[in-house]
Amino acid sequence: AVAAVNPIGDFPLNDDWVYARSVKTMLAGGGFQPLDWTEASLVAQTVWGSLFSTIFGESFTVLRFSTLAIALAGIVATYGLFVECRQPRWITITGTLAVAFNPLWLVLSNTFMTDVPFTAFVVWSAFFYVRYLRDDRTGDAAAGTLFAIAAILTRQLGLALPVGFAVATLAARGASRRRLAIAAGALAAGAG
């Protein structure tokens, strides 16, 4: 599908020129300076795009491939989330393919917009949070919180992740001292 789309070309698509400008400024040594047009928090995406551009060169093609890499990781996370939720194999495969070939996912995976990276970070966060709620391993809560922070640093709406996790943790597992500390830690990290 990506080959059919052909993401190669040094030109912006949609509003990704605004986000690409933040990468260009960072690469020029100006730090993180989003344009006034930017409504997303954009920090994680700018760092990710800068990393790809440092390695592969500065172009819209490289930035699109950086999004495609996150899109692939998001598809893997979607599959993993279905598995963690103990869905039948046919639902897991159908659901994963529905995300991978969703027209919005496919189109936005071939841009440098924030939609796909944000969604991928949300799904990874959910994957680890679900594992924590099932297995009660602190490492899963920490990994979920790290991906929640990446989501927050891409779009502010990610703030809902640690809040939802804290409520789910206390509702599903009870308010032990350890679980209160984990829930509070996720909230503090997200707010920070």
Distances (CA, A) of 4 to 9, 94, 105, 137, 182: 14, 22, 15, 42, 45
Q: Which of 117, 124, 115, 130 is nearest to 164 (CA)?
A: 130
Inter-residue contact 63 to 16 (CB < 8 Å): yes
The pTM for the full model equals: 0.93
Inter-residue contact 186 to 170 (CB < 8 Å): no
Token readout for 161 is 């992740």
Q: Write the pLDDT tens digit of every residue in 149-182.
A: 999 999 999 999 999 999 999 998 778 888 899 9
- Residue with token string 């869905």: 87
If one counts every other C-beta atom within 10 angstroms of the C-beta of residue 145, the result is 24
Question: What pLDDT was estimated at residue 40?
Answer: 80
Inter-residue contact 95 to 78 (CB < 8 Å): yes
User: Average pLDDT, whole number, for the chain?
Assistant: 93
Inter-residue contact 189 to 144 (CB < 8 Å): no
Q: Write the pLDDT tens digit of every residue in 121-157.
A: 999 999 999 999 999 899 999 999 999 999 999 999 9
